[in-house]
Structure 1
Amino acid sequence: MGILANSVSLCQFQVLLDNPPDDLFAWASEQLATKAFRPIDRGSEELSVGWVLVDDPQSSDFSEPRTFWRDHYLVFSLRRDQRRIPSALLKAHQERVEAEFLAAHPGLNRVPKQKREELRDAVRGTLLSQTLPVPAVFDVVWDTRTGRLGFASLNAKVLEMFEGLFRQTFEGSRLIAVHPYGRGEGLLDETGRAALAAENRAGGDSVLEMIEGNRWLGEDFLRWLLYQTLTESSRYTVNRPGPAIAGEGFVAYLNDRLLLKGGSESGVQKVTVVGPQDAFSEVRTALNGGKQITEAIVHLEKLEDQWKLTLKGETFHFASFKTPSVKVEKDQITDAASEKEAVFYEKMHVMEEGLQLFDSLYRHFLDLRLGADWPAVNARIAEWLAAE
């Protein structure tokens, strides 16, 4: 789903530029053009990957600033066109041409290895030329004020493809995944960052090591939020900058679906709890059995506005991030392009407000988790679970 959809899966990165250009938008236009998408529908190439316009995936012309430059945002899309040949079809055609070759060469009992490879390449090329490429488009929004970038996919292979193409396109740039530890560093003050560093359990500073070594952050956060949902107040206050006013109240809680994992002699065991819960008795039983919440649906509410997301505890990826509906007053729109821009800005507003509320919630947790009161809070949670 695109970034403007009512619900979007979102992976966030921090963009670092070694040598920021004086004219960022002119530079971005030139760089995007170097890796612009090239269509393969009239050829037989298996794969084509490149950048296209977010409003027109058929176009890869970045010469006009308005097509990808929206105030302080750079917005564009990654397009991947790929031809796929079913393995059964490839095998059937391969067997047919090999049989024809042997019939034409009665002195051979089997096709020589080199000839077989030649026949396979020929069959594959023929089938590719007869197969239409299937397109897929993934939106990118880069906030140049903060350096924060959102990518609309959580698929591991697509993320790897995006990261590689982004670095090739914007030379001198670095993409840092916004994982639980990194997100915490960005939210805390100097004292808080020092306390977080003291709890760092990673064996190195690579993204994978930071995620793997600090799984406890997502696990403790979701365990605490479950406890808050069922026993304490679900009201919090905005403590991060953004569209919402500092000190404004909002509600945050877990409901609908939770995924728990735990190791055993037979391997990793998973428990999925689905549906509205009154007491989460099944979840509490699983937690008592040594499992940890690794994924949950988080609800955020402020006045009449509501946000909902499936939080991946290990990575803090947002799956199915649903925001309030975007509404634009038609009488203020002069043309189709203006309408698209108005929808974009309104969507960015509600999305950033949801992220602001989530960061405020996470900052509240971090202050508690890294503070002197945490042992007492943790003891209360353990006592509550034991009483299940």
Structure 2
Amino acid sequence: MTYLRQEAELPPVLSNLDPIPEDRGIAGAEVALTDTKTTGSFMGHDYSLAFVSVEPGGDFLDAARKALAASRIVFVDGSPEEILAIADLPEARDALLFNVASGARRLRDADCRANVLHTMAEDAMRTDALMQMLKARRWTRTVLVVGPKPEDQAFAETLRASAQKFGVEVLASKNWTFDTDLRRAAGQEIPLFTQDFPDHDVLLIADEADDFARYMQDNTWLPRPVAGSDGLQGEGWAPVLEQWAAVQLQNRFEKAVGREMSSRDYAAWTALRTIGEAVTRTNSADPAVLRDFILSDKFALDGFKGRSLTYRGWNGQLRQPMAVVNARALVELAPLEGYLHQTNEMDTLGLDRPESTCTAFGG
């Protein structure tokens, strides 16, 4: 197996309190490799994992070709455009790729590829989980602050779609245009910025660049909780998860890496564990055999979140419960009780079969 990463030059943000770990994602794959090797030793199976990291501006496709020449199973840590470009390479036609980085809808929808499975939670799974929780609390009147970057705009649209889906109102929205040093001025700027919002239950924030959202809580004109990109958040994984033996995975990860596990780490961990489980059950390393088994009703993975994880047969997305968390605690685990589905309650989160225009998977 190969973990292929495109390094990115991160734009400056207003705070340096939470630097992004250099081994984000990679560390999750390493911990999963150790777990998988232990199981494989009893079966006579051996696993190896190469890491390829391409510097900003480097030739990512050339690195992908070389990786595919050596390995038919590749975990891709890149942008949606980079993931699609690799999936469309002739060398990738018979390979099995895992998207461990992008939650973009397009990869599960019109731009899906049959050779790409997704262990990173779709962005809509995050926002649907949040809206289920807000609806259950009857916090249904919200306002929205949207950051200036493209990923902020996209996340805002996802928040709006999930709000409409679950009957949560977005009464008003404003674009964040400040470049003030909020470390000094948050107490003066943010109350004025939020003063003209109508009365609401929750302030939603779309700040996927993690730029200004941290300064909104406790500085708004009205004393209201914040949610979205800060405050209450829907996540595939969070350090506050402790039930369902999650604390054991957290402890193994922290002992091996020296930091807490993130959603990107968990996506890489589940991707490699998916391969380990499929190889164990099929006694095969053929990507086509593994893919068929992974997408079948026979596959189930223990993801330490209270339910077995499976894959959606129509677009390759990993089904998983989503944690709604704050900085210190798990608030809810979605799907919440009462949200029913004709086949699988976890399909109330994210793009459901009737909503998806993906045709690459057939059926």
Normalised by the length of structure 1, the TM-score is 0.27
Normalized per residue, the structure richer in strand is: 1
Provide TM-score, normalisation by structure 2. 0.28
Higher relative contact order (CA 8 A, sep 6+): 2
